[in-house]
Structures are given as structure tokens and as C-alpha cells.
């Protein structure tokens, strides 16, 4: 290198010998000895809980974190989503968490030695939220599975990736999952749910858990034939409606919550609500997942 090591402003600043030594060093270093693991979070859709809990989980595991910001990235120069993700992987982070509006086909991303984690892909799945929610229930019930538990999921089930992952995982853990949603939000596929109802009046009041979900208006093309007020009137969880269920019935909501739409605000502060436990447990579960996937 030139005598002033603090500047590299032009290729002219390296002598021929320095240039070849530098290339040799690049080849022999590779990506280093992985003493310090690196997580990249790339969220192309809004997030509060998922991104920050992954980042806190990584810091707690002594990893370094790099947060991708799409607004200041080459996407503003026209680079497309798959190409952007492929480039982030090519830089060799130990793990990459991605949230985006389409389902990702790992085959199109090219070979990578990085662990790829789904932070929510469109309407498809949100697997770490389901792990978090099921862990929260197992922790509360002090059990290893959910057999014999009855779970009622209410809301925009068709468009909720949280619901899709949860129906699969809760069922696998032995729960009976029943869905309650108005016409435009009904699930048209079989993910293992054991039933579907269309009104609170038809609920099994012996249910152990009620999970409320947000209406995913940003995913719905065209006008939704149901206002927030109409949804709350027919499907919103109120203390009054909750009073019809057994006293030990717990309430989950993956967030973000719209009070006065999915639920009355007082519900969130009811001792039966596990909504903040879900957020706290999100860090624990993501720590365990990173630890497992990187070991
Ligand atoms: C959800 C999401 O983004 O999928 N939230 C979350 O990650 N906890 C649910 C939603 O947006 O309604």
C-alpha cells in the first residue's frame, strides 16, 4: 500500500506489488473463520415485532446484525426483489431473514451457504410467528403439546400468513383448530383445521384459546365489502363476547392490533390475554431457532 495507509482514493494509490498482495490476501482470507456470526434482516414490508425480535435475538447470541433498508438500496435504481435478495445472499451472511410480499422460491436465488429464514412471505406463511404463538401456549399450559386444546381463530384467515402457519403447527401439536370469519375472509384450503363457523353464536364456549387477526387490507385487491365497523360488530372480541367463554380461555393476537376492529382495547389488558407474552417469547424462540440453524 502507499505510505499513507488512511487513504484509498484511486487505483493509482496501489503499486503493482501491493495490488497482487491484496488479491492474494482476499483469496486466502475467504469469509474468515466465522468467529463472529452475521445476521442480515431484509424487510420489504413493514414490521415492528418480527424484525426487532430477530435483531435482539441475534445480539443476545453475540451475533452482528446488518439491517437492509430497501428505500436507500439499489431497488430505488430499479433492481428487482429476487435479484436484491440473491445479492444479499451472495455476500455470505450466516443468516438472512427476509419478509416480502411474494412467496420465495429458493431455487431462483442461486446457491448460497447462508441460512435463509422466512420472516413472512405474502399471504403464504409466517413460520416464526407460529413457533412463537405455540411456544407461548405450551409455556402457559405447562405442557409439551396441545392435545385436547380447542383453539378458535377469528378474522381475515384467507389473507393471514400467521393463521396459515399456526393452523398447520397447532394442529400438528394436537390442537383442534376452528376458524371464525366472515365470507370474504374464509380459508378455501385445508390446512388441517377441524371446523369452520360463521358466527360467535355457533362457537364452542369450552374453547381454550381465542386468536384474533387483523384484516390484511393491503393484500386485498379492490374494495372489501366489509367496513371495520361491520367487522367489529359481527366478529370483534368484546368483554361481553368473551364472557360467554370459560374463565380460563386465553387470548392471542400476533399484532399489529387495531383496537375497536379485532378486539375491544380492554381485552388486551385482561389477565387472560397473552399478547405481550407472545412478543417476549418471540425473542426466545428466534434465539433458539438461530442457535439451532447455525449450529
Ligand atoms: C403479522 C404479519 O406481518 O404477518 N404480524 C407479525 O408479524 N407479528 C400480522 C399482520 O400484519 O397483521
Write down the residue that cell numbers 414490508 correspond to. 45
Count of C-beta atoms within a 10 Å radius of residue 179: 23
For residue 255, report the distance from its CA to the centre of ligand 1, in Å: 6
In terms of Cβ atoms closer than 10 Å to its own Cβ (0-12, 13-18, 19+), residue 250 is buried
Is the CB–ligand 1 distance for residue 50 below 6 Å? yes
Between the alpha carbon of residue 293 and those of residues 9, 34, 39, 54, 99, the distances in Å are 40, 15, 12, 13, 18
What is the pLDDT, as a whole number, of residue 186?
Answer: 95
What is the pLDDT, as a whole number, of residue 5?
Answer: 61
Is 254 in contact with 213 (CB distance < 8 Å)?
Answer: yes
Q: Give which of 153, 137, 149 is closest to 174, Cα–Cα.
A: 149
What is the pLDDT, as a whole number, of residue 289?
Answer: 98
Q: What is the pTM of this model?
A: 0.93
Ligand 1 atom nearest to CA at 216:
12
Distance CA(210)–CA(261), nearest Å, equals 15
Is the CB–ligand 1 distance for residue 219 below 6 Å? no
pLDDT by residue for the chain (295 residues), tens only, comes to 555 566 899 999 999 999 999 999 999 988 876 679 999 999 999 899 999 999 999 999 999 999 998 777 777 677 788 889 999 999 999 999 999 988 877 777 777 889 999 999 999 999 999 999 999 999 999 999 999 999 999 999 999 999 999 999 999 999 999 999 998 899 999 999 999 999 999 999 999 999 999 999 988 887 777 899 999 999 999 999 999 999 999 999 999 999 999 999 999 999 999 999 999 999 999 999 999 999 9
Which residues are bridge partners to 226 per DSSP?
A: none
What is the pLDDT, as a whole number, of residue 233?
Answer: 97
Is the CB–ligand 1 distance for residue 164 below 6 Å? no
Which triple of cell numbers denotes residue 159? 389473507
Distance CA(228)–CA(233), nearest Å, equals 9
Is 249 in contact with 208 (CB distance < 8 Å)?
Answer: yes
> Strand (E) positions, the chain?
38-43, 64-68, 95-100, 115-121, 150-154, 176-180, 195-197, 209-212, 250-252
For residue 252, report the distance from its CA to the centre of ligand 1, in Å: 13
Is the CB–ligand 1 distance for residue 127 below 6 Å? no
HSE (side-chain half, CA atoms, 13 Å) at 17:
2
What is the pLDDT, as a whole number, of residue 1?
Answer: 54
Distance CA(123)–CA(101), nearest Å, equals 8
Is the CB–ligand 1 distance for residue 253 below 6 Å? no
What is the pLDDT, as a whole number, of residue 127?
Answer: 98
Count of C-beta atoms within a 10 Å radius of residue 44: 19
Distance CA(181)–CA(85), nearest Å, equals 35
Amino acid at each position: 500500500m502507499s505510505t499513507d495507509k488512511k487513504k484509498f482514493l484511486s487505483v493509482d494509490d496501489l503499486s503493482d506489488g501491493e495490488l497482487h498482495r491484496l488479491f492474494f490476501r482476499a483469496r486466502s482470507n475467504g469469509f474468515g473463520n466465522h468467529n463472529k456470526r452475521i445476521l442480515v434482516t431484509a424487510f420489504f414490508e413493514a414490521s415492528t415485532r418480527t424484525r426487532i425480535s430477530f435483531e435482539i435475538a441475534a445480539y443476545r447470541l453475540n451475533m452482528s446484525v446488518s439491517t437492509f433498508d430497501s428505500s436507500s438500496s439499489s431497488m430505488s435504481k430499479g433492481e428487482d426483489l429476487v435479484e436484491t435478495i440473491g445479492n444479499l445472499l451472495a455476500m455470505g451472511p450466516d443468516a438472512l431473514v427476509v419478509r416480502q410480499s411474494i412467496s420465495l422460491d429458493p431455487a431462483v436465488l442461486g446457491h448460497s451457504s447462508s441460512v435463509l429464514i422466512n420472516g413472512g412471505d405474502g399471504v403464504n406463511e409466517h413460520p416464526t410467528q407460529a413457533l412463537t404463538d405455540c411456544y407461548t401456549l405450551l409455556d402457559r399450559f405447562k405442557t409439551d403439546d396441545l392435545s385436547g386444546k380447542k383453539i378458535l381463530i377469528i378474522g381475515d384467515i384467507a389473507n393471514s400468513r400467521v393463521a396459515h402457519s399456526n393452523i398447520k403447527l397447532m394442529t400438528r401439536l394436537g390442537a383442534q383448530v376452528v376458524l371464525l370469519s366472515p365470507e370474504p375472509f374464509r380459508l378455501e384450503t385445508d390446512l388441517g383445521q377441524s371446523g369452520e363457523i360463521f358466527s360467535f353464536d355457533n362457537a364452542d364456549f369450552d374453547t381454550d384459546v381465542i386468536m384474533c387477526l387483523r384484516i390484511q387490507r393491503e393484500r386485498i385487491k379492490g374494495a372489501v365489502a366489509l367496513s371495520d365497523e361491520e367487522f367489529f360488530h359481527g366478529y370483534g372480541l368484546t368483554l361481553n363476547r368473551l364472557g360467554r367463554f370459560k374463565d380460563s380461555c386465553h387470548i392471542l393476537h400476533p399484532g399489529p392490533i387495531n383496537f375497536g376492529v379485532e378486539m375491544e382495547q380492554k381485552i388486551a389488558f385482561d389477565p387472560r390475554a397473552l399478547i405481550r407474552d407472545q412478543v417476549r417469547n418471540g425473542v426466545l424462540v428466534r434465539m433458539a431457532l438461530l442457535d439451532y440453524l447455525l449450529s
